[in-house]
Amino acid sequence: MQLLTPALGLIIWTLLAFLVVFFILKKFAWPSILNGLRNREETIAASLATAERIKEWSDGRGWKNLRMLSSNKNTYNTDYFAEDEKQSQLPALNVFRKTPEGIFHFYNTNYKRCHIDLSTNLASHC
C-alpha cells in the first residue's frame, strides 16, 4: 500500500529531480535535437523534390524503366561519397550505364556542391 500513497517528501524530491533533469535537457539537448530534425526534414524534402524532377525529366525523354533504389542497410552512400564523415546523408545523383559487358557507374554529382539543370545534358560538369 506504500507504493500507492508515497510520503510528501518523496513526492517533492522526485519532482525536484525531474525538474532539474528537464531544465538541463531543455537547455542543452533540445536545441540539438530540433536542429537535427530540421536538417533531416530539409534533406528529405530536397530528395523528394529531386526524385520528382528526375522522374519528369526521364518521362520527357521516353524512359519508361528508370529505377530509383534505396541505399538503406549497405555501404553505397559512403562508397559513392553521398555521406560525410559524420554519416550525414548528402543529396546526390548517381547514373549507371548498362553495356553488353555489364552495369557500370557512369556519373555522380552531389547537390550541395553542384546544381544540375535537368533540362540540359545530365552528364555535364558544373
pLDDT tens column, 7-54: 888 889 999 999 999 999 999 999 999 988 887 777 776 666 677 777
Tell me how crowded residue 92 is: count the other CB atoms within 10 A of its CB.
Answer: 20
Domain co-membership, 39 together with 74? no
Domain co-membership, 75 together with 118? yes
Q: Indicate yes or no: pTM above 0.85.
A: no
Q: What range does the domain containing 76 cover?
A: 69-126
* Whole-number percent of the chain with pLDDT over 90: 18
Tell me how crowded residue 74 is: count the other CB atoms within 10 A of its CB.
Answer: 10
Report how many domains make up the chain: 2
Alpha carbons 28 and 35: distance in angstroms, whole number: 12
Cα–chain center distance at 126: 23
